[in-house]
Amino acid sequence: MTIGTGLSRRHLLRAASALAITPALAQARVCVAPPDAGRVTKAVNDAHARFAGLTEGKNADYIPYLAGVPSALFGVAASEPDGAVAEAGDVGYALAIESIAKVFTLALVLRESGPEAVQQKLGTNATGLPFNSVMGVELNHGKPISPLVNAGAMATVSLVQAASPEERWNKIIGNMSRFAGRTLTVNEEVYKSEADTNEHNRGIAMLLKSYGFMYTDPMEACDIYTRECSIAVTTHDLAVMAGTLANGGINPVTKEAVIDPALVPPVLSQMAIEGLYENTGDWMFTVGLPAKSGVGGGLIAVAPGVLGLAAFSPPLDAAGNSVRAQKAVQSVVQALGLNIYAG
């Protein structure tokens, strides 16, 4: 990794030993600068080339529309702080954002109601359970526990301050559009497919209401949640959205301050403990970046202060995380040394 003035870490450590200061001290005094653009482009291209032939996994089929999305689609992108986006493959294909939406509506509610309300009314712990678990709600006396599972995400939607469903929806899609740096819209076909088959989520919404953890009409919250999952985004958009979180809440392309920098760490904390559901521990163990997946095949990851990463490929593993997107992001993280625990 290139640090500070463009010297490599090895050079700095050598310089430190010549000056008889400890390597640890030398590192502590140096600000880590983003890797140069050429290395980012290479890492993205290499990740795409490396996994282009991987066919493991299976499209989500409990939402009929998603079963028909071509499984061969594969895109990788990285958003840099100066607004550049390195990309490879099908980065312009409009996929369904699905659960990645949960991250941005959490950011909105944090901004409107603050971290304490989020902890009390939603919870900020890991469930260790599948994203649509009813047992997770029952085990916790109705508290959703995490804003990044379906129960918590519907409760999050219900916390958005609004006098009408329209106002609530406009705030949600408006907020997500600011993260992306362009006006996003719903893929109506995805919405219909999902709304026609979302009995399970409706059941969860009613259950939350019965326990007092749903803060508006449960069917309205479920419907708006279904809509936010049906928002169409490209892999390029996802990289910029992740890049906004990496960049202290400032969209690297539009330069708009979308979220207070103080609210970025709480958002990332949730991605780090629940972003890939019951496989989040494995993800953090092997990759080490806060991330969030969606059953549309998208995945975002955030290297704070450095890069926003995104990848997309429809075939999923058993937990509902894109197989190829995970591999591609892991490859970029390793090539650029972005694991947050590596210091």
Q: Return the number of the residue (132 or 175) whose C-beta is nearest ligand GLN.
A: 132
Exposure letters 40-59 (e unless 16+ CB within 10 A, then b): bbebbbbbbeebeeeeebeb
Nearer to ligand GLN, 294 or 314 (CB): 294
Q: Specify the residue, 34 or 314, whose C-beta has the smaller distance to ligand GLN.
A: 314
What is the Cα–Cα distance from 235 to 311, expressed in whole angstroms?
Answer: 6
The Cα–Cα gap between 224 and 160 comes to 11
> Which of these, 203, 205, 228, lies nearest to 102 by C-alpha position?
228
Residue nearest ligand GLN (C-beta atom): 99
Nearer to ligand GLN, 190 or 332 (CB): 190
Residues that bind ligand GLN (CB under 6 A): 98-99, 131-132, 150, 194, 201, 229, 294-295, 320
Instruction: Answer for the pair 241, 234: CB distance below 8 angstroms, yes or no.
Output: no
Considering beta carbons, is residue 198 or 244 the nearer one to ligand GLN? 198
User: Which parts of 212-322 fold into alpha helices (H)?
Assistant: 218-229, 235-246, 264-274, 280-286
Closest distance to ligand GLN from the beta carbon of 96 (Å): 8
For the chain, the helix, strand and coil percentages under 3-state DSSP, each to the nearest 5: 50, 10, 35
- In the bound state with ligand GLN, the residue whose beta carbon lies nearer, of 82 and 282, is 282
Query: What distance lies between CA 232 and its chain's CA centroid?
Result: 15
Tell me the closest approach of the beta carbon of residue 8 to ligand GLN, in angstroms. Answer: 40
- Minimum Å gap between C-beta 129 and ligand GLN is 12
We find the least distance from the C-beta atom of residue 98 to ligand GLN, in angstroms, to be 3
Report in angstroms how near the CB of residue 30 gets to ligand GLN at its nearest.
39
- Taking each helix axis from N to C terminus, what angle separates 235-246 and 165-180, rounded to the nearest 10 degrees? 90
We find the least distance from the C-beta atom of residue 207 to ligand GLN, in angstroms, to be 14
Going from the C-alpha of 236 to that of each of 51, 89, 161, 240, the distances in angstroms are: 18, 11, 30, 6
